[in-house]
Structure formats: structure tokens, C-alpha cells
Chain A
Amino acid sequence: MTVMPRLEDLEDKSFDPFLIEKLSTGNCPDPYPRIHELRAQGPVVEGSYRKQFTDVPDVQMGHLPQVMVLGYDAVMKVLTQPEIFRNKEAFEHNLGRSFGNTITVMDAPIHTKYRKIFQKAFLPQVVAQWGETVVDPVVNRLMGEFLDRGEADLIEEFTHHYPFQVIYAQVELDPAQAPVFHKLAIAQILSSIGAPQGPEASAKLGAFFGELLAEKRRNPGTDLISHLATVEADGERLPDDVLISFLRQLMNAGGDTTYRGTSVLLTGLLTHPDQLAAVTADRSLIPQAIDEALRWEGPVSSTFRYAAVDTEIEGVPIKAGTYINTVLASANRDPRKFENPDAFDIFRSRSTRHVAFASGPHLCIGQHLARVEMTRALNAILDKLPNLRIDPDKPAPQIKGHLLRVPDHLWVKFDR
């Protein structure tokens, strides 16, 4: 049996990373009018995406030369030319500090080598098995808390917890340690605003995962960590620093984004009751509902790349050394690709792929798990909460944030 190492809390127990994170990602109710204005100026616009919406300084990137790349074709050019638009320099100042030597902070050929090993653990046929064994028990346990009540806040009581608890289950984390785990996972990204709790959280999670890996190598099980701790490619194991960095990132990349994606999916359906009714009656519509939610309000609005050489996008020159705000949200709402792009419409043509999971070699490694989780969650909600509807006596849900989007609450009523 695994002996779980102990996870140390932050020195300052009163520090609330959830509140600070909300402050740093902003309260912007609708960044899209500004995004459309910027895209209308051209495919490349001087400045940083973040500065369009907040005065909270970016202590790690704020002083660096930046442009925004906007529109579907321009964004695709950045994402699919990794030899020109690199990840290492783009992320070593932020995610590299929070998570360490993660594959997001690598380029080919080292990225190609490690990515393939990690992806193996997250291929569709692998994560499909976790649906029943890992995701369903978590979903059922959380929903059991409010099923008899006839009303709930689906954000506070469900979506904000279930993807994290799926990860805890995969890591076989002691439930008593879960609150500290969640807190440290959010605190580690606060390095970007200079909070000392950022590096403190990264160090404490690193120590925890280091001990856990050693334990899993002594007593391997069938869980994800045991698999990653022992997997070999070309006779080589994953180096500990790469693996620990990946596990640090897993909480945010796998937990936080799925929480946001599921919250937006439920908000989109509940605020469009005709579409909710269609999906309730015909569950084969779930995949397109998920894709539409991800296109409409992707969990991450913009990502970074770094121009390694002098280059151009659609004829606009970009100097080597420029940091590229690659505005995924502008691609997903580009009217040249998506008719009436601001509308949530699960029946729209899917001939153009959205880029909520990005594109190219750094495409989200966990997208198949995210789809399994969102599908299981939505099915359970439609099955167990009959006559589901927005609570008319509570404030309507409002998706907020300029970079990471989510509503704070989604108050619903349903028949008992």
C-alpha cells in the first residue's frame, strides 16, 4: 500500500490564493467587443493582451516587447510554426517558474520526445477507461450532496471541485490533504504577480511529488503516477524534474481548465433552454455541445509564443525577440470562420476546428480526458436533475475574466 507523503501548507495560513487569483485574472464581464476591435485593426497589433483589460502589472512579462496576434488564420500560423514561434522563451518567465521544467516550456526535439511519453497516458482509449472508474464516483459523490434539495449552485458545489477530485483520485491523494493541495495548486501560479506564496507553493508541491514518485517506484500500482514513474521510452525513464513539473502543471492544466470549461458548458445550455432541451432528449448532441462551449468561451483566452527569428504574419513584420500574445479567443470568434460568432449555437457547422485546446505540437495533452469528464458530468446532471433550470430568484450567471473565463455562480433549480 502507498504511504502518502505529507503536503505542507503555506506559511501564511490566512493567504487566500483563490481571491488573489480572481483579482489577477480580472472581473471583465465581456472582453469580446475589445477583441473584435483589436482584430479589426489587423492580424498583428502592438502591446499585450492583458494590458487591454487590467492595470494589475505582469511582473514577469510586462517589461518585454509584445504584440497580439488576432484572427483565426493568423493565430493558426503562430501555433503551427513551432520552429519560428517557440515555447521555451515564451513560458520560462511564467509557467516555467511556477511549474518548472514542464513540456510546455520545451521545444523540439526534446519536447517531441517527452510529449509522446506523456501523451501515451492520455490517449483516448486510456482515458475512456477512467470515465467509469474515476470520474463517475467523483461526480456521483458531489451530486449526492444536493440531489434532495431541489436547488444548487453548480459552480460552488460541483464544477469547482470535480475535475480536481478526479486528479486527487488519480494521484490517490488522502482526502484530508485535498484542500491544501487545491490551495497550493492555485497559489503556485501567483508567481506571475510577484506573490512570494507562488514559489513557496511550487517548492512544497515539488517536495510532495518527489516523495510520492519515490514511493510509487517502490510500490507501483495501476494509477497514473505509478505509470508515469515507471514508464520508459527508448530504454529511458522520464527525468524526475520533468515528471514533477508535469504533475505540478496537471492540477492547473487538468483541473482548472476543465472546471472552467464545464462551468461555461452548463451556463451556455442553461441560458439557452431550447438547446438544453435538445441535448437532454438526444445525448448524441453532447460532443458538439462541448465543442461549441469551448469555442464560445474557451477557458484560456490567450497564450504566449516567442518569435525566434525576424518573421511576418500576413505581411506584418515581427522582430526576433518579440513575445506573441496569441489570442485564441479572437480565432474562436472570428466572423470569417464562424457565422454569428458571439452566439452560443450547438447546431452551428463544425467544419472549422476551434482552437480552445490550441493547435500544433503543443495541443492540449489532456483534451481527451477533459472531454470524458465534461461528458460524464453533463450526462449525470441531465439524468439526475430533472426539469433543470436557472433559479429565477438568484442573479443570472455571468461569465467573467479576460484571460481565464468562468462564472462565479450558477444557481439552478430542479425537480426532486
Chain B
Amino acid sequence: MKKWMCMNCGWIYEQELGDPEGGIEPGTAWEDIPDDWKCPDCGSLKAEFDMVEI
């Protein structure tokens, strides 16, 4: 399974959960997340995420 992962800390974005505390509603597609959104665990920008095989 492929997922978007923060390469600075390993946090994984789950589309069905979103990131409500960070203003991302559950169900939001990765492409629709704004570029200035930050990893909720370590604060890295969206650009620091890579698609990885889990």
C-alpha cells in the first residue's frame, strides 16, 4: 500500500482521518491539502512528504 509520509519524522497521512486539528477535514485528498499545511507531529511542510510503500 502506498501512503504519503513525512520524511522528517515518519508521520503518515491517512486520507480518511485527515488532520482536523490542522484544518484538514477527514476525506481530504492529498492533492487538495494546501502547500503551507504542516506535519502535525514535527511541523515540516507538505513538500517534505514522499509517497512510500508501507
Contact A353 B5 (CB under 8 A): no
The yes or no answer to B51 lying at the interface (CB within 8 A) is no
CB contact between A116 and one of B8, B12, B43, B54 (< 8 Å): that residue: B8
Contact B43 A120 (CB under 8 A): no
Contact B42 A353 (CB under 8 A): no
Contacts of A82 in B (CB 8 A): 43
Contacts of B7 in A (CB 8 A): 116, 119-120, 123
Contact A363 B9 (CB under 8 A): yes
Given A119-B7, A120-B7: A360 and B12 within 8 A (CB)? no
Contacts of A130 in B (CB 8 A): none
Contact B10 A361 (CB under 8 A): no
Digitize B17-54: 1 where CB-to-A-CB distance is under 8 Å, 0 elsewhere.
Answer: 00011000000000000000000111110000000111
Contacts of B44 in A (CB 8 A): 361
Contacts of A125 in B (CB 8 A): 52-54
Contacts of A360 in B (CB 8 A): 42-43
Q: Which residue of the partner chain B has the closest CB to A80?
A: B43
Q: Which residue of the partner chain B has the closest CB to A81?
A: B43
Candidate in B7, B9, B40, B41 with the most chain A CB atoms within 10 angstroms:
B9
Q: Which residue of the partner chain A has the closest CB to B54?
A: A125
The yes or no answer to A368 lying at the interface (CB within 8 A) is yes
Given A119-B7, A119-B8: A363 and B42 within 8 A (CB)? yes
Digitize A88-125: 1 where CB-to-B-CB distance is under 8 Å, 0 elsewhere.
Answer: 00000000000000000000000010011001101111
Contacts of A353 in B (CB 8 A): 21, 40-41
| Count, chain A residues at interface, CB 8 A | 21
CB contact between B8 and one of A351, A361, A367 (< 8 Å): that residue: A361
Q: Which residue of the partner chain B has the closest CB to A364?
A: B9
**A351 CA to B21 CA, complexed, in Å:** 8
Contacts of A123 in B (CB 8 A): 5, 7, 10, 52
Q: How far is the CB of B2 from chain A (nearest CB, A)?
A: 11
The yes or no answer to A359 lying at the interface (CB within 8 A) is yes
Digitize A332-364: 1 where CB-to-B-CB distance is under 8 Å, 0 elsewhere.
Answer: 000000000000000000011100000111010
Contact B42 A124 (CB under 8 A): no
**A359 CA to B44 CA, complexed, in Å:** 11
| Count, chain B residues at interface, CB 8 A | 16
Contact A115 B8 (CB under 8 A): yes
**A367 CA to B8 CA, complexed, in Å:** 12
Contact B8 A124 (CB under 8 A): no
Contact A124 B43 (CB under 8 A): no
Q: How far is the CB of B51 from chain A (nearest CB, A)?
A: 12
Q: Which residue of the partner chain A has the closest CB to B7?
A: A116
**A360 CA to B21 CA, complexed, in Å:** 15
Given A124-B54, A125-B53: A119 and B43 within 8 A (CB)? no
Q: Which residue of the partner chain B has the closest CB to A357?
A: B41
**A361 CA to B40 CA, complexed, in Å:** 11
Contact B12 A124 (CB under 8 A): yes
Contacts of B9 in A (CB 8 A): 119, 363, 365, 367
Q: How far is the CB of A291 from chain B (nearest CB, A)?
A: 13
Q: How far is the CB of B30 from chain A (nearest CB, A)?
A: 18
Q: How far is the CB of A113 from chain B (nearest CB, A)?
A: 11
Contact A361 B5 (CB under 8 A): no
CB contact between A119 and one of B10, B21, B40, B53 (< 8 Å): that residue: B10
**A352 CA to B5 CA, complexed, in Å:** 20
**A120 CA to B44 CA, complexed, in Å:** 15
Q: How far is the CB of A83 from chain B (nearest CB, A)?
A: 11
Contacts of A365 in B (CB 8 A): 9
Contact A122 B10 (CB under 8 A): yes
Q: Which residue of the partner chain A has the closest CB to B41?
A: A363
CB contact between B41 and one of A112, A120, A359 (< 8 Å): that residue: A359
**A115 CA to B10 CA, complexed, in Å:** 12
Of the A-B pairs whose beta carbons lie under 8 Å apart in the complex, a sample of 8, sorted by A's number, is A82-B43, A116-B7, A123-B10, A124-B5, A125-B53, A359-B43, A360-B42, A367-B9
Q: Which residues of A contact B (CB under 8 A)?
A: 80, 82, 112, 115-116, 119-120, 122-125, 351-353, 359-361, 363, 365, 367-368
16 more contacts with CB within 8 A, not counting A120-B7, A124-B12, A360-B43, are A82-B43, A115-B8, A119-B8, A124-B5, A124-B10, A351-B21, A352-B21, A353-B21, A359-B42, A359-B43, A361-B8, A361-B43, A363-B9, A363-B42, A367-B9, A368-B10
